[in-house]
Amino acid sequence: MIVTLTANPSVDRTIELAGELRRGEVQRAVSVRSEPGGKGVNVARALTAAGAPVVAVLPAGTDDRMLAALRDQSVAYRAVDVPHPVRVNVTVVEPDGTTTKLNEAGTSLGPVVLDALVAAVLEQAAGARWAVLSGSLPPGVPADWYVALVEALRAQGCAVAVDTSGEPLRAVAAGPVLPELLKPNAEELAELTGFDVSRLEADPGFVADAARALVARGAGAVLATLGRHGAVLVDGEGSAYFGQAGTVVPVNTVGAGDATLAGYLLAESAGAGPAERLRQAVAFGAAAVQLAGSAMPRPGDLRPEGVSVVALASRSVTS
Instruction: Tell me the HSE value of 224 on the side-chain side, using a 13 A CA sphere.
Output: 35
Task: Look at residue 72 and give its three-state secondary structure.
Answer: helix
Task: Return the C-alpha torsion angle 150, 155, 160, 162, nearest 10.
Answer: 10
Instruction: Tell me the HSE value of 36 on the side-chain side, using a 13 A CA sphere.
Output: 28
Which positions ≥6 away from 26 have C-beta within 8 Å? none
Q: Are 30 and 18 in contact (CB under 8 A)?
A: yes
Q: Is 171 exposed, middle or buried (0-12, 13-18, 19+ CB in 10 A)?
A: middle
Output DSSP code: residue 190: H
First-last CA distance in the chain: 39
**Residues involved in catalysis:** 258
**Alpha-carbon separation of residue 226 from 40, 135, 151, 173, 189 (angstroms):** 19, 18, 28, 19, 10
CA quadruple 76, 79, 84, 88: dihedral sign: negative
